[in-house]
Amino acid sequence: MRLFPILAAIVAIAAIYMLVFERDRLATLLAPGGEAVTTAKAAAPAPDAAAAAPADTGGAPVGVVVLRSTARQIDRAVTLRGRTEADRQVELRAETSGQVVSDPLRKGALVEAGQTLCAIDPGTRASDLATARARLAEARARVPEAEARKPEAEARVDEARARVTEAQSRLEEAEINYTAASKLGEQGFAAETRVAATRAAMRGAEAAVVSARAGLKAAQSGLKGVAAGIEAARAGVESARAAVAAAEREIAQLSITAPFGGLLESDTAELGSLLQPGDLCATVIRLDPMVLVGFVAETEVGRVRVGAAATARLASGETATGEVVFVSRAADPATRTFRVEARAANPDLVLRDGQTAEISIEADGTLAHLLPQSALTLSDEGTLGLRTVDAENRVHFAPVTLVRDAPDGVWVTGLPDVADVIVIGQEYVSEGVQVAPSYREIGQ
């Protein structure tokens, strides 16, 4: 009962073996004159593998359909998956505390640069500013007063220096008189009273020098004190000026304005609410122009250039065109991709922030062939390619690279500028086989 299934399985295995491993021999058998070729092979076995090749069997060439293809220049766009981003977005927060005294603006409203979004009650800040300005005027008045004391102090220093010089001169004179009186007294020509008088005069001159030097130090200390007073007065001016600037800054922070024109993404703070430093007043975004953000692989980043045209197709069906304005020089550490930004005009605000987009960026073109997708085949090693015919009608395998799909075929590279490509029958011939090509034009 089981004999028939076993025989059927053996027949199926044999058929698969013939189709996969003996395809060339099977094609030769099915070709015209195949029976005679088989008989000749059986009568004279080939001494080596080359003698068994289908090209040397002497049988009729296999008929194939060949398309003569000429390479054409095409644009190779870089396609990225990305999203849209607002050109600018900012959260406006309070820098001072106070109660909001302005009516709120609702989200979605258009605002212009400089427009007030939140106004805070000034309270006593105006009087604080007036007080700071009064202190500044007072501090400025102290500077001339302090500077007026400087000439008097300098004059005292000069006078003290003159006294020191005078005292030193008298000391030198007294020392000379004492020396002369001492020598005369030793020789008996001068009385002891005279020697004593000159000694006393010298001691008095020394005391006068010490006193004059002390007066000079006191005058110099007074001059330093005057200089310190001048610096203190000037420091007071700077401190008062800083207080005025702080008061003016405090008043300027009472009005929170839009830094640029755009849309309100949130309501402004409600009338009567209390804002503390850091509290949110409003969020403003600018959607014109719109930024198209994508991430390009490191194998393709060299083909993206700043200034290249970019086209984005959104998930909602809208399209946008712009140009590349930024290509990152640092890869994302997680994905090893590079950020690319393009700006597109959005005057009607049709594009929204955060939409998914497919971005195509123009890149340098290349020569490629447009061929039917059915003409592609695989070599015995699994390499994707095409089978071509040379001038002697012999088959060759050419590895190719897919560039992109097209409605009427695929664009490939790796062939010569002009190539005769087998588009029908390529699966029934192998390398070196001689064929009988039938040429057709593109579109037939």
How many residues does this entry show for the chain? 444
Structure tokens at 333: 């550490």
Name all domains of the chain by residue range, CATH numbers in brackets. Answer: 1-45 (no CATH), 61-73+365-444 (2.40.420.20), 125-252 (1.10.287.620), 285-364 (2.40.30.170)
Mean pLDDT of 388-411: 89
The larger pLDDT score, comparing residue 387 to residue 52, is at 387
pLDDT given for residue 29 in this prediction: 62
What's the pLDDT at 364?
73
| φ, ψ dihedrals at 254, nearest 5° | -70, -20
* Interval 392-419 mean pLDDT: 89
**Over 60: is that where the pLDDT of 139 sits?**
yes
Q: Look up residue 33 and give its two tokens.
A: 């004159």
The mean pLDDT of 63-85, rounded to a whole number, is 87
Query: For 315, phi and psi rounded to 5 degrees?
Result: -65, -25
Mean pLDDT of the 118-125 span: 91
Q: Report how far residue 182's alpha carbon sits from residue 26's, in angstroms, rounded to the nearest whole number.
A: 150
Give the residue-averaged pLDDT of 71-84. 85
Task: Check pLDDT > 60 for residue 48.
Answer: no
Handedness of CA 227, 230, 234, 239 (dihedral sign): positive
Separation of alpha carbons 247 and 243, rounded Å: 6
pLDDT of residue 366: 79
Give one DSSP letter per residue of 318-366, joined into a string. -EEEEEEEEE-SS--TTT-EEEEEEEE--TT--S-TT-EEEEEE----E
The per-residue pLDDT for 49 is 35
Q: What is the pLDDT of residue 177?
A: 85
DSSP labels, 145-182: HHHHHHHHHHHHHHHHHHHHHHHHHHHHHHHHHHHHHH
Task: Please spell the DSSP secondary structure of 27-40, one letter per residue.
Answer: HHHHSTTHHHHHHH
pLDDT at 51 over 60: no
**229 vs 441, higher pLDDT:** 229
The partner residues of 405 in beta bridges, in order of sequence, read 410
**Cα-to-chain-centroid distance, residue 225:** 57
Rounded to an integer, the average pLDDT of 59-66 is 84
Overall average pLDDT of the 23-44 stretch: 49
3-state secondary structure of 236: helix
Q: Tell me: the pLDDT tens digits for 302-358?
A: 888 898 899 999 988 889 999 999 999 999 999 899 999 999 999 888 899 999 999
Confidence band for 43, pLDDT divided at 50, 70 and 90: very low
Q: What is the pLDDT of residue 37?
A: 38
What is the rounded average pLDDT of the residues 97-104?
Answer: 92
pLDDT band at 442 (very low <50, low <70, confident <90, very high): low
Assess whether pLDDT exceeds 50 at residue 40: no
Is residue 175 predicted with pLDDT exceeding 90?
no
Indicate whether 166 pLDDT > 50.
Answer: yes
* SS3 state at 407: coil
Residue 89 reports pLDDT greater than 90: yes
Is residue 47 pLDDT above 90, yes or no? no
Per-residue confidence band for 209, with pLDDT thresholds at 50, 70 and 90: confident
Tokens of 111: 């605002």
User: What confidence score (pLDDT) does residue 245 get?
Assistant: 93
**434 DSSP assignment:** B
Q: How far is CA 341 from each of CA 35, 215, 304, 315, 338, rounded to the nearest angstrom? A: 68, 78, 11, 18, 10
**223 to 35, 154, 285: CA distances (angstroms):** 130, 6, 62
How far is it, in rounded angstroms, from Cα 277 to Cα 183? Answer: 91
How much is the pLDDT for 123? 87
Helix axes 23-30, 3-21, angle to 10 degrees: 90
Question: Which residues, at least 6 apart from 371, have a Cβ–Cβ distance to it below 8 Å?
Answer: 67, 69, 386, 409, 410, 412, 421, 423
Amino acid at 430: S
Q: What is the pLDDT of residue 271?
A: 92
- Stretch among 51-55, 160-164, 214-218 having the lowest mean pLDDT: 51-55
Q: What is the pLDDT of residues 245-302, one digit of tens each?
A: 999 999 999 999 999 999 999 899 999 899 999 999 999 999 989 999 999 988 888 8
Dist. CA 327–CA 4, nearest whole Å: 69
Give me the pLDDT at residue 153, please. 86
**Residue among 406, 404, 397, 395 at smallest CA distance from 432:** 395
3-class secondary-structure state, position 20: helix
